[in-house]
Chains A and B, each alone.
Chain A
Amino acid sequence: MIEITREDFSVDEIVEGLQPRGVGAVLTFVGIVRGKSKGRAIERIEVEVYREMALKQLESIRYETIKLFGVEDVAIIHRFGSLKVSDRIMVIAVAAKHRREAFQACRYVIENIKKRVPIWKKEITVEGDFWVEDVKP
């Protein structure tokens, strides 16, 4: 499942959705709006997305991940719009037979989202607004 949405999501529902396939593990990674960035207190963030291209990229990443690591399924949900500190930004869920490939696959997904999916974050702080630049692992 790939989704780009303004709405919050339930991690439990996503995990349940991946379970009926009889897998041994579902690994989830949840990205959350941080409270501080470069010493500045964050009020909220604005997430902008180039929807058509981002969906295409996410679908490619999902397909590559299943092929490369032999995992059973991958779900990715990314939010956009205005988000508060502690809000969920995204979730990656990987269903696999074993933990090793689940962790490798999840890492591959998040690194590739940060590298190539056209989504941008702007941090709104008391000191001004700042676009987040080149996030390195």
Chain B
Amino acid sequence: MKIRVLYFAYYKELVGKSEEEIHIENDSTLENLLEIVKKLHKPLKEESGRIIIAVNNEYAKGETRLKEGDLIAFFPPVSGG
């Protein structure tokens, strides 16, 4: 299935783009997607413990199961305000 992935702030710079489409097996979890993303973009490996993830504009955990058309965002800790 196809998943749309967004990167923000420092991660956008690390990855060199703000979004991409990733093909992943049906029934995969967010954790599986993160592994693929870290393989595709090596600098993200260093960020492992602190990567924040959102699915369809809501915070989400690694065990979340993905479905076709989901919008995933990876970003570093926020610093607004």
Instruction: Name the residue on A nearest B52 (C-beta).
Output: A118
Tell me whether A84 is interfacial, beta carbon within 8 Å.
no
A48 to B9: give the CA distance in the assembly, Å.
7
Number of contacting residues on B, CB 8 A? 17
Beyond A47-B80, A118-B8, A135-B81, list 5 extra A-B contacts (CB 8 Å): A53-B54, A56-B57, A120-B78, A131-B10, A134-B79
27 contacts between A and B (CB under 8 A): A48-B8, A48-B12, A49-B80, A50-B8, A53-B57, A56-B57, A56-B58, A90-B80, A113-B80, A114-B80, A117-B78, A118-B73, A118-B75, A119-B79, A119-B81, A120-B8, A120-B9, A120-B10, A120-B75, A120-B76, A120-B80, A121-B79, A122-B9, A131-B9, A131-B76, A133-B76, A135-B81
